[in-house]
Amino acid sequence: MGDQHEKQQIQPRADPGNVPAQSGACGSCALNATSTALDRQAGALGISPANPVPTDKRIYRLPVFTEQFCQALVDELENFEQSDMPKGRPNTMNNYGVLLNELGMDEPFLTPLRERLLPITALLYPELGGACLDSHKAFVVKYSLHEDLDLSSHYDNAEVTLNVSLGKEFTEGNLYFGDFNQDPSPVPKYIEVEHVVSRGLLHRGGQIHGALPIGSGERWNLIVWMRSSAVRNQLCPMCHRKPQLVEAEGFGDGFTEPQVQEELPQPVSATLG
Ligand SMILES: O=C(O)CCC(=O)C(=O)O
Ligand SMILES: [Fe+2]
């Protein structure tokens, strides 16, 4: 079962290209203390905040693949791109890239990857169903000088997003992050985050973000929009309403139908004759 939404494109409320990377330090000591405690626990799992200066944005960096694996995956995707097999667009905003379910990669590769991340997402994003991310949409996006150069500001159709840099070689093209969409501030603070090949970034799907233009080369990223049916069945994260379900294939948009209650035996009144 699913719903028609994908990425929600938004007008940047400040031109991220012109906004220098900000410290993003939170003014509240309590929040800083909480995020520092969380950062320490995450550090014990090999995960570090993506920004060297503490922020309230909850963006984390972690090792995901080897560089050799990233290279092999990109080679394979280039073969697929050059083939005449039918291909869809990765999503409503990126024009170039590959939908990984079209390559049959969901079951053998992406579901185990999502499940492997559960202890981490449970720790980092408990209120977003981080402990029960039960489906995903996964794709690779590609940027190059004569194709897409950048990606405008948006939030994802995901509770939690994993974004892994696969290479190849490129200059510039940093990611930028603004507010959480459900918690906008009057003057949003943007931070820039550099991607490192073979590393992943974890962020809330609702964290407004985009990618700055690359200066040269090709930039390929694996994006996994991870979804929690327990959370989104209550409220669609894209339109913030109770979801109206329509039939969909595969994981759809990650909504599930309520289980049909097993029919309970009806009480019967017996009359003695
Ligand atoms: O290009 C990137 O690194 C970001 C892609 C992204 O945000 C998305 O596809 O949802
Ligand atoms: Fe995104």
Query: Which of 8-22, 50-64, 131-145 is most confident?
Result: 131-145
What is the structure's pLDDT at 51?
Answer: 82
Query: Residue for token digits 């290209």?
Result: 17
What is the structure's pLDDT at 41?
Answer: 80
Is the minimum distance from the CB of 105 to ligand 1 under 6 angstroms?
no
Residues whose beta carbons lie less than 5 angstroms from ion ligand 2: 156
Is the minimum distance from the CB of 55 to ligand 1 under 6 angstroms?
no
Q: pLDDT tens for residues 226-245?
A: 999 999 999 999 999 999 99
Is the minimum distance from the CB of 156 to ligand 1 under 6 angstroms?
yes
Is the minimum distance from the CB of 42 to ligand 1 under 6 angstroms?
no
Is the predicted pLDDT of residue 188 greater than 70, yes or no? yes
What is the structure's pLDDT at 203?
Answer: 98
| Closest residue by CA, ligand 1 atom 10 | 156
Is the minimum distance from the CB of 208 to ligand 1 under 6 angstroms?
no
Torsion sign, CA atoms 233, 93, 62, 137: positive
Q: Which atom of ligand 1 is nearest to the CA of 225?
A: 10
Which one is predicted more confidently, 14 or 248?
Answer: 248
Is 102 within 8 Å of 88 (Cβ atoms)? yes
Amino acid residing at 214: I
Is the minimum distance from the CB of 163 to ligand 1 under 6 angstroms?
yes
Q: What gap in Å lies between CA 150 and CA 158, rounded to an integer?
A: 20
Q: What gap in Å lies between CA 198 and CA 112, rounded to an integer?
A: 18
Amino acid residing at 74: V
Detail the DSSP E strand segments found in the chain.
8-9, 48-49, 60-63, 97-99, 135-144, 151-155, 160-167, 170-172, 175-180, 191-193, 199-204, 207-211, 214-227
Q: Which residues make Cβ contacts (< 8 Å) with residue 255, sequence separation at least 6?
A: 1, 2, 3, 229, 232, 233, 236, 243, 245
Give the pLDDT band of residue 34 (cuts 50, 70, 90): low
Is the minimum distance from the CB of 207 to ligand 1 under 6 angstroms?
no
Is the predicted pLDDT of residue 257 greater than 90, yes or no? no
Nearest to 15 by CA among 154, 194, 190: 190
What is the CA(145)–ligand 2 centre distance, in A?
20
Q: What gap in Å lies between CA 32 and CA 241, rounded to an integer?
A: 32
Buried b (16+ CB within 10 A) or exposed e, 217-232: ebbbbbbbbbbbbebb
CA distances in angstroms from 21 to 26, 50, 55, 192, listed in the order given: 15, 13, 12, 5
CATH 1.10.240.10 holds for 27-232: no
What is the best residue among 218, 221, 224 to mutate for testing ligand 1's pocket, by most ligand atoms within 8 Å of CB? Answer: 221
Nearest to 217 by CA among 154, 268, 254, 172: 172
Is 162 within 8 Å of 117 (Cβ atoms)? yes
What is the structure's pLDDT at 14?
Answer: 34
Q: Hey, what's the torsion of the CAs at 208, 50, 200, 116, to 10 degrees?
A: -100
Among the bound ligands, name the one nearest to the CA of residue 201: 1
Q: Of all helices (H) and strands (E), which one includes residue 186?
A: none
Is the minimum distance from the CB of 94 to ligand 1 under 6 angstroms?
yes
Q: Which atom of ligand 1 is nearest to the CA of 219?
A: 1
Among the bound ligands, name the one nearest to the CA of residue 222: 1
| Closest residue by CA, ligand 1 atom 8 | 223
